[in-house]
Amino acid sequence: MIPEPDSRPVTTLVVTEVNGIVVRRTVENRQTLAGFLRDGLGLTGTKVSCDLQVCGVCSVLVDDQPVSSCTYLAADIDGRRVRTVEGLSGGERLSPLQQSFVDHFALQCGFCTPGFLMMATALLERNPDPTEEEVIDYLDGNICRCTGYRTIVDAVLEAAARMRSLTNA
């Protein structure tokens, strides 16, 4: 006789830092990071679109590296730092990058915006003075169906200039 399979979910205890706050949760091993952030922590700024790691909409930073949270497992964030779009502003005031997106109308429906913001954050933390070509290349994996990209590139370049002037002030 063949034994019945165990139908209980396999889980993992995860201790992580999300937007500067230590979080301790038990997650199903098959749960994605996007699901954990949205359903487990109520951080709905992270969007899910393709579920295939091709559109960039769900981009977040894990240990300052961009990842597609729709395919990254929540169990893999144990002991790591996660930053989402909710963690960019640090309070009531928008970050220079977020403000630049608003100033340049670099969003329309806004669905892709969190992914672009997170990818641009990773770029600007690595390279505070990117060229236009570097911005275009870095954001190449993010898809927007509304803006035409020009305003997004302009917003990132202006944010870089603003951030450099704040650092040099």
Domain boundaries, the chain: 11-87, 96-168
Q: How confident is the model at residue 166 (pLDDT cuts 50, 70, 90)?
A: confident
CA angle 28, 30, 35 (to 5 degrees): 80
Intrachain domains 11-87 and 96-168 with the same fold: no
* Domain boundaries 11-87, corresponding CATH code: 3.10.20.30
Average model confidence (pLDDT) across the chain: 94
pLDDT score, position 18? 98
Summarised one tens digit per residue, pLDDT across range 65-86 is 999 999 999 999 999 999 999 9
Compute the distance between CA of residue 15 and CA of residue 25 in angstroms, rounded to an integer: 7
Q: State the alpha helices, DSSP H only, in the chain.
A: 33-35, 96-103, 113-126, 132-138, 150-168
Q: Residue 115: is its pLDDT beyond 80? A: yes
Residues paired with residue 62 on neighbouring β-strands, in sequence order: 65, 82
Q: How confident is the model at residue 7 (pLDDT cuts 50, 70, 90)?
A: confident
Please state the CATH superfamily assignment of the domain spanning residues 96-168 in this structure: [2Fe-2S]-binding domain (1.10.150.120)
Global pTM value: 0.92
Contact (CB, 8 A) for 112 and 90: no
pLDDT score, position 91? 80
Q: Which residues contact 27 (CB under 8 A, 6 or more apart)?
A: 11, 12, 14, 36, 40, 74, 75
CA 16 to chain CA mean position, Å = 16
